[in-house]
Chain A
Amino acid sequence: MILAVSLAISAIFGSGVFLLLQRDLLRVVVGIVFVSNSAILFVIAAGLSRGDAPIYPLPEGGLLGAGTSDPLVQAMALTAIVISFSTAALLLGLVYRLYAAHRTVDVEDISEAETREAEALEKDGDLGEPEREEEPQGKPAEVELGEETR
């Protein structure tokens, strides 16, 4: 049993890491979900025991005669599942935000587009001085705020 669980954990973790190293941001998110789930499996494996369901009131004498199984790991796994799915949602939100701006989820394309924009800005505004880097950041934020208030 221990061997099977550890094989499963390592397979999930490994494929998660493989996906994390891709350039496609969606795959990165899926990779994070895989890695988190392998950790959740690890949490369960940390207290793996055979026994009755730990639901109060406990059955008289026990059904399997092996006591109850460890409830703590299940509580931990549940909490970790909730955390991992909420962070996955947040990551997807960030990816969507990038997709809406650049129409691509490839990290290299996005950084290329950003470099092009920065170069275009530099040509327009003659941003020679490093001191002035902050200026183009302040203004668009205010514009965005105007859009949000609609």
Chain B
Amino acid sequence: MTGFADSADPLVLALAVGIPWALAAALSLFDGRKRWVGWVAVAGLGATLAALARLAVLVVGGDRVEMTAGGWPEEVGITLRADALGATFALVSVGVIFASLLYEVLGGVRSRTFPALVLFMAAGLTGLFLTGDVFNFYVFFEVSMTAAYVLASYREQDHQVRAAFIFAVINLLGSVVFLIGVAALYHVTGSLDMATIAERIDPVQPNSVIVIAAAIFVAFSLKLGLFPFHFWLPAVYVGSHPPVAAILSGALANIGSYGLLRFGGGLLPRELELGSAAVLVLGTASIIYGAVQAISRRDTSEVLAYSAIGQAGYILVALGVGGPVGYAAAVLYAVVNSLNKGLLFLAAGLRGPLVGAAFAVGAFSVAGVPPAAGFLGKVALFESSLAAGTVPASVALVVLIFLGSALSFVYSFQIYQRRFWAPKPDDLGDRGKPSPVAPRVLVVLLAALALGVGLWPEPLLSLSEAAADVLAGGP
């Protein structure tokens, strides 16, 4: 158990997990529509973000920060463990949640529970990205999912409530499958600690572990919305409130990518290698299906929902290639994708000067046009497909990624054209009115961030490489 560089480090870790928890519990007692409640939530989430940024700086060199909760001796108590993989995902997810919360607070919160729910979601996400215990992972995962079920019915339209119900039922089924996987892992290894499981899983009979791996794969694919498990996803995103859609797509979906990386790459690498063909095929199917469906839809949120299915496919393909290059590409792509999705969903909810430009940056980023951040993701994917063993496989993957990018270019600009070019403002009457300045500035800042990451990629690249090293070297 290495990594105690400084005695203050575990405190940073505890703060990152603890602040959103405490605030969420406190703020759920107040009416979230009051301005000060919203701003307190923003401030708390900002502090969490600062703590996570500090953690990311600490762990990028390959260190890890650990603490055992509740003062229990090591190996007995639940371990909180921040390494480069978890810290990267936590930083990005909380970043997207922070932007969405700020957007909603600037535009006026409409539900009394919104700030507290968003904080609960942030608490669950930071917890699950920074825990070193599989059952603890399940608990945090349920916390954030439960917040998501309520958020999905945010405006309480009938069709939203129905979509939220379906969302909740499908994802609860996924959680149950995951819980069964966790119990089975405990049964075969006698431990819940991720590092111990990774050590003890090797001598276990492969045919029992492959079943566990399949259960865990199904559970996370459901969360991520991969092709055969995607059916709930469009219904939830269509007509949902922009910040909620941004949170679901930019932050919550990261559970799926992180889970696949952590459990597939970190705990069960042998099984992932065994199933890599299936993973690649599913990823390919996701990319094609998502892109084709996205092109055929007209409604902006529906296009973005299908686009999310397609983008999840790229992460799966990178995971299927595996190895340090593939893992780094998967991490990088997941990070860039959540940034894109946050930006696009938030920008799609606004209108007025500069919003179109911000949306265009997001659309360029999804299509992978330099200098937007998405270009980095695409380059990393090309690199990983070149590392894919045989020449035919590499060629097929490069063609697939190229095709997928071309299709995503088409659908991104279809929605751009429909939303920001087509009618003159005065034809729209009420809707022609530009949105308030503050959310527009926020969206422009997000777009600038997407461009900035693309222009100065070193921090993100080193983070994703450090994350891949964590997986390659065991958790």
B173 with A141: CB separation less than 8 A: no
Known: A79-B135, A87-B146, A94-B164. A72 touches B180 (CB 8 A): no
A86 touches B (CB below 8 Å): yes
Which of A20, A32, A101 sits near B158, CB closer than 8 Å?
A101
Question: In the complex where A20-B173, A79-B139, A131-B423 touch, is A90 in contact with B157 (Cβ < 8 A)?
Answer: no
- Mask for B98-142, Cβ within 8 A of A = 1, else 0? 000000000000101000000000000000000000010001001
State whether the Cβ of A91 lies closer than 8 Å to any Cβ in chain B: yes
Flag the segment in B148-156, B382-390, B461-469 that touches A: B148-156
Given A28-B169, A98-B161, A101-B158, A90 and B150 touching (CB < 8 A)?
A: yes
Q: Which chain A residues lie closer than 8 Å to B150 at the CB level?
A: 90
- Bound state CA distance, A108 and B156, in angstroms? 19
Residues in B neighbouring A32, C-beta threshold 8 A: 169, 172-173
Inter-chain contact B158/A98, CB cutoff 8 Å: yes
* Given A28-B169, A145-B110, residue A47 in contact with residue B186 (CB < 8 A): yes
> Do the beta carbons of B172 and A98 come within 8 Å of each other?
no
Q: Let me know if A114 and B158 touch, CB within 8 A.
A: yes
Report yes or no: A36 in contact with B172, Cβ–Cβ below 8 A: yes
Q: Kindly report which residue of chain B lies nearest to residue A88, judged by CB atoms.
A: B172
Query: A29 to nearest B CB, angstroms?
Result: 8
**Cα distance, A102 to B158, chains bound together (Å):** 9
- Tell me, rounded to whole Å, the shortest Cβ–Cβ distance linking A12 to chain B: 11
A24 to B184, CA, bound (A): 32
The answer, yes or no, to whether B298 is at the interface (CB within 8 Å) is: yes
Q: Contacts of B164 on A, CB cut-off 8 Å?
A: 94
Contacts of B75 in A (CB 8 A): none
**Residue from the list B135, B139, B156 in contact with A144, Cβ < 8 A:** B156
Q: Mark B412-448, 1 if CB is under 8 A from A, else 0.
A: 0000001100110000101100000000000000000
- Most chain A CB within 10 A, of B149, B179, B298, is at B179
Q: Does A127 contact B (CB under 8 A)?
A: no
Contacts of A73 in B (CB 8 A): 183, 186
Q: How far is the CB of B373 from chain A (nearest CB, A)?
A: 28
> B423 to nearest A CB, angstroms?
7
A130 to B168, CA, bound (A): 28
CA distance A111 to B166 in the complex (A): 12
A57 within 8 A of B: no
* Chain A hits for B33, CB < 8 A: 145
CA distance A135 to B422 in the complex (A): 17
Is A39 within 8 A of B176, CB to CB?
yes
A sample of 15 cross-chain residue pairs with beta-carbon separation below 8 angstroms, ordered by A number, consists of A32-B169, A32-B172, A35-B172, A35-B173, A35-B176, A40-B179, A43-B183, A73-B186, A83-B139, A90-B146, A91-B168, A97-B153, A102-B158, A132-B431, A135-B430
| Given A20-B173, A47-B186, A137-B239, 14 new contacts (CB under 8 A) | A36-B172, A42-B179, A42-B184, A76-B183, A87-B172, A91-B168, A91-B169, A94-B164, A94-B165, A110-B162, A114-B158, A117-B158, A130-B299, A133-B239
